[in-house]
Amino acid sequence: MKSANYQYIPALDHLRGFAAILVLFFHGSHFISHEIRYGTPFEPSNWLKAANPLSALVIEGHTAVSLFFVLSGFIFTVGAIGKKLNYFGFYRNRILRTYPLFLFFLCLGILAYPENFNITGLLKSLFFLANSDSAIDGGAFTFVFWSVAVEWHFYLLFPALIWLVQKKGWGSMLVIIFIFLVIRLIAYFQDISMREISYWSIVGRIDQFIIGMLAGLFYQSKFKASAWFDCLAIIGLIIILSALYVFNQFGGGGLNNHVWIYWTTIEAGAWAVFVLGYLSITRHYPVVISRTFIAIGTISYSIYLTHFVVLDFFMRNDFDTIIAIESPLGTAATNIFLFIMPIVIVCSIFTHYCIEKPFLQRRKDYMK
């Protein structure tokens, strides 16, 4: 998405769009196939096993959120390095970017589930704690709010992080990553749920934002579209697919053990390698392909907040298995692609242009 504060890089919109669609396929594949296999609501203990690395990408599609976090760290750093950050302007733009659609779905969630409304939960949802258990539970309308809260934790830390990296260098970021690895290790030996703190909170996700920042620093100083960087995209893709497949074979997103101490770091590192290569390889894309990906990326935030609402509607009304084939996962993927995804995109176009865009146009330059 174009901004007055940094050079527009179309490939980043490609990746945002990809991540948003991947989250849709991830949730849909698990929830629909679980319903077919067990006839009950989704339970992580029945996590799907991947037959190959490509299917692991969908089954472990929660990795798309990690990609979002890496991209956030990357683009903010590319825009801010070597410049003076106006804090008020930065946070004003972040509110205009995230809150209008967030508030729209929060209101719908409160209207749909008034019995879950309470002032404490509302305040937590509004003030960056939507990932806590006591935040407003608006069902499908607030299902992905946890990640918006974590993203805001990054925003709150970013001015300090960018100041530190400009004063002390990129090594300071490695120190922070190491500190949080140690924190997770200590938490593990204290019998704290590793999945809880590594997946849902900044304790596990800070690595991903910082690794995105490091990728941004590398991009600013070393990047040049070339055959070498094209190869980096392929290498990064092989690494992420292989890592996701191995992760899945050990239990995947449903597991809750020591793997979560270091998984988010490995995952982010793989995505960072891929992102740097992808920024180079897209110069070979036909214009029509690039523009299509950009269009999807432009509405990616709407897709992300809308997709589970549409998925939940289809499942509640038994529209999620209009076409049934032998494989539950195949049935889920087929119905997502043919029916659910088109509706998600149409709804997202509406929410983007009617709710997001009027506020996005009010953003101002905050770099000097």
Q: Is residue 200 included in any domain, yes or no?
A: yes
pLDDT in tens, 92-108: 999 999 999 999 999 99
Amino acid at 288: V
What is the structure's pLDDT at 2?
61
pLDDT in tens, 205-261: 999 999 999 999 999 988 888 999 999 999 999 999 999 999 999 889 888 889 999
CA 341/CA 316 separation, integer angstroms: 16
What is the structure's pLDDT at 320?
87
Q: Is residue 205 included in any domain, yes or no?
A: yes
Q: pTM to 2 decimals?
A: 0.95
What is the structure's pLDDT at 202?
96
Range of 90's domain?
Answer: 10-360
Query: What's the chain's average pLDDT?
Result: 94
Q: Is residue 87 included in any domain, yes or no?
A: yes
Alpha helices in the chain (DSSP H): 10-38, 53-59, 63-80, 87-112, 119-126, 145-168, 171-189, 194-200, 202-222, 227-249, 259-281, 287-298, 300-316, 328-335, 341-351, 357-360
Amino acid at 346: V
What is the structure's pLDDT at 355?
97
CA 359/CA 110 separation, integer angstroms: 23
Total domain count, the chain: 1
What is the structure's pLDDT at 156?
96
Q: Is residue 367 included in any domain, yes or no?
A: no
Which residue ranges in the chain fall short of pLDDT 70?
1-6, 368
What is the structure's pLDDT at 256?
83
Amino acid at 190: Q
Give the number of other Cβ atoms within 10 Å of residue 235's Cβ.
Answer: 14
What is the structure's pLDDT at 343?
98
CA 10/CA 333 separation, integer angstroms: 28
Q: Is residue 2 included in any domain, yes or no?
A: no
Question: 367 phi and psi, to 5 degrees?
Answer: -105, 145
- Give the single-character DSSP code of 50: P
Give the number of other Cβ atoms within 10 Å of residue 47's Cβ.
Answer: 18
CA 123/CA 298 separation, integer angstroms: 29
Q: Is residue 147 included in any domain, yes or no?
A: yes
Rg (CA), the chain: 20
Q: Is residue 208 included in any domain, yes or no?
A: yes
CA 153/CA 190 separation, integer angstroms: 24
